[in-house]
Structure 1
Amino acid sequence: MTKYIFFVPDELALYLFADIKFDADFDLVRLKRSLLGKILIGGKSPVARIIKKFRLADFFENKFFCYNFGKFKKFYSDKNYVLVFVAGAASILPEKMLQDFSKKKNISLALLLMDSFHASSPTAVKLRNLCFERLWKKVYTFDKNDAWEFGFENIGLCYYSTSRLSVQKLRKNKIDVFFVGGLKENRENLILSLFEECEKHNLKADFVLSCINKNQWKNRKFSKKIKYIKKWISYSKVLKKVSSTNCIIEILQKNQESQTVRYFEALVFNKKLLTNNPNIVFLPFYDSRFMKYFENINDVDFEWLKKKENISYGYNNEFSAIHLAQLIKSDFENLWGGGKQL
């Protein structure tokens, strides 16, 4: 018998992969450091600086800090396991710990990338180095172009669950447009220009921007009208804003060519979608009446953004993560039939 443990790094991933739990062979676990680990490894105390200076983090992490990962160790000897690390969950653990688990005969590791391989965030940079290590039996990605370029396996669109969305009440449209995201490479000017034009056209625009560095925080534009944050807001709060907007805005990062979760939110909540993803026209459920592509500000129809319409994409959980569970099981079901070989 094979048990699959799906380790996720944050609340967003808990939402995206919630339907995994409907497969009895899968456990869904949010991986995080203990409070002690956050203070000593991630903090700025004198002890934390000493640990960093002498590169002792791996030693302390192995011994004390990934508490909700360690509790699974007692199960490892009695059956076969596939440990699937979603994006940043892999970067929480020291690499040596991952290597040790990959050497066990009854354990195989898989990595699932949920950001463009060309992204510039610290987590993405670390994963770029980590994903080519031999410890992974499979590396999956949501981005079909990354899959083609680097030889990963594409998971398609099966990574948006709705089982946790039932608690979200559908609200009346209180705002015209909503955008949330980081001020990342080559899209800062586009984001701010779009907000400025929305203001000029008297749209009710709700923009939530995460600052990547100190300079962005210091040089905040439209700071009285745009909400700038240093840490991500919870996904439950994002969903409240999504449910109360007329149109969701999606702006891809540099070199990204696949959809973000904004596309799925538009389908689930029946919202308009304004996106700079030229591939939107090839995606399932695309409807030119309610989904618009723009390359620059001149392409945007601001009257369309304001216009209230009855929208129904007919989406019925076709992209549930339960299909991802089936894909992964298919890949690993014969893994131990003739030894630990894929």
Structure 2
Amino acid sequence: IQRYPDIIKYIPLFDRFLAFEDDNTSKNISICTNFYLEKIISDQKPTIENKAFLLATFQKNRIKETLALKQILDKIKFNNQFILYCNEKEYRNTLKDNGISIIKKPISYSDSLKMTLQSTVLIDIHNPIHNGLSFRIFEALGYEKKLITTNKEIAKYDFYDPRNILIWENQCADEIDAFCNSAYHQIDSRIKEKYALENWIKHYSSL
């Protein structure tokens, strides 16, 4: 809500308003999570590569972690694909010099999903303006991908498992190497299904 404050004027028009982190803006805001689309993958038959994938919008307050993680993945020779939507001309050369692809138009969700499903590790660089968990995190859960994230809040959730989720705190290359090259650990199906869109709708419509 702090990132998109124009929404505040619309909150009174609804009986209940959902947001993915605590907010004291209005008494009728309920806390919820994001979700993943469980049925969208039924028609997909991706060729999975041992690869880390990041798709994000460029923000100055996230570039330090992005570059550091990219450099470590390159150092350990773990295949990776970093794509940033960036209109900041002063940063483009630095990003390109570090092997990051720059796009000037957003990628469709279906194309993003294809690249997500083809990867074994997803990268989530947290935007410090909020503490909620991004859609990328729930895609990792739903599509059984390992996850490297800078959002420490994830450790509070029932699906957190350090075998599948690495909270990035400038770990050494050996730790990143071991994490990326280890197998995904299956979690309880009831926890996974809890965050699927169909169940998400049932849960929040019944509150």
Q: Same fold (TM over 0.5)?
A: yes
Give 1:273 shift: 0.9
Contact preservation (8 Å) 1:207, 1:226: yes
Contact preservation (8 Å) 1:247, 1:305: no
What amino acid does structure 1 have at the position aligned with 2:47? R
Q: Could you tell me which of 38, 42, 55 is aligned with 1:180?
A: 55
Change (3 A) 1:135 1:278: closer
Q: In structure 2, how many angstroms separate the alpha carbons of the residues matched to 1:160 and 1:293?
A: 20
- TM-score, length-normalised on structure 1? 0.52
- TM-score, length-normalised on structure 2? 0.82
Equivalent residues in 2 for 1:63-78, closer than 5 Å:
none
Question: Are positions 1:304 and 2:178 aligned together?
Answer: yes
Q: In structure 1, how many angstroms separate the alpha carbons of the residues matched to 2:113 and 2:122?
A: 11
Contact preservation (8 Å) 1:144, 1:156: yes
Give 1:299 shift: 8.7
Show structure 2 runs of 5+ residues with no match: none
Question: Are positions 1:192 and 2:75 aligned together?
Answer: no
Q: In structure 1, how many angstroms separate the alpha carbons of the residues matched to 2:204 and 2:51?
A: 40
Q: Could you tell me which of 234, 237, 243 is aligned with 2:108?
A: 234
Q: In structure 2, how many angstroms separate the alpha carbons of the residues matched to 1:263 and 1:241?
A: 15
What amino acid does structure 2 have at the position aligned with 1:143? F
Question: Are positions 1:289 and 2:163 aligned together?
Answer: yes
Change (3 A) 1:237 1:191: same
Question: Are positions 1:206 and 2:120 aligned together?
Answer: no
Change (3 A) 1:140 1:222: same
2:130 matched to which residue of 1?
256
Question: Are positions 1:215 and 2:99 aligned together?
Answer: no
Change (3 A) 1:299 1:134: same
What is the RMSD of the two structures over their aligned residues, measured on CA atoms?
2.8
Contact preservation (8 Å) 1:247, 1:273: yes
2:119 matched to which residue of 1?
245
Question: Are positions 1:225 and 2:102 aligned together?
Answer: no
Q: In structure 2, how many angstroms separate the alpha carbons of the residues matched to 1:189 and 1:216?
A: 12
Report the identity percentage: 23
Q: Could you tell me which of 150, 154, 167 is aligned with 2:30?
A: 154
SS at match of 1:265: helix
Equivalent residues in 2 for 1:312-331, closer than 5 Å:
312-315=186-189, 316-326=192-202, 329=205
Contact preservation (8 Å) 2:81, 2:100: yes
Contact preservation (8 Å) 1:277, 1:293: yes
2:8 matched to which residue of 1?
131
Show structure 1 runs of 5+ residues with no match: 1-116, 332-342
SS at match of 1:166: coil
SS at match of 2:120: strand
RCO higher in structure (CA 8 A, sep ≥6): 2
Give 1:324 shift: 4.8
SS at match of 2:105: coil
1:79 matched to which residue of 2?
none
Change (3 A) 1:295 1:203: same
SS at match of 1:262: helix
Q: In structure 2, how many angstroms separate the alpha carbons of the residues matched to 1:320 and 1:159?
A: 6
Q: In structure 1, how many angstroms separate the alpha carbons of the residues matched to 2:195 and 2:18?
A: 15
1:163 matched to which residue of 2?
39
Q: Which has the larger radius of gyration?
A: 1
Per-residue CA distance 1:271-308 (angstroms, 9 max, x = gap):
11111111111112211211111233559822124314
Q: In structure 2, how many angstroms separate the alpha carbons of the residues matched to 1:134 and 1:270?
A: 35
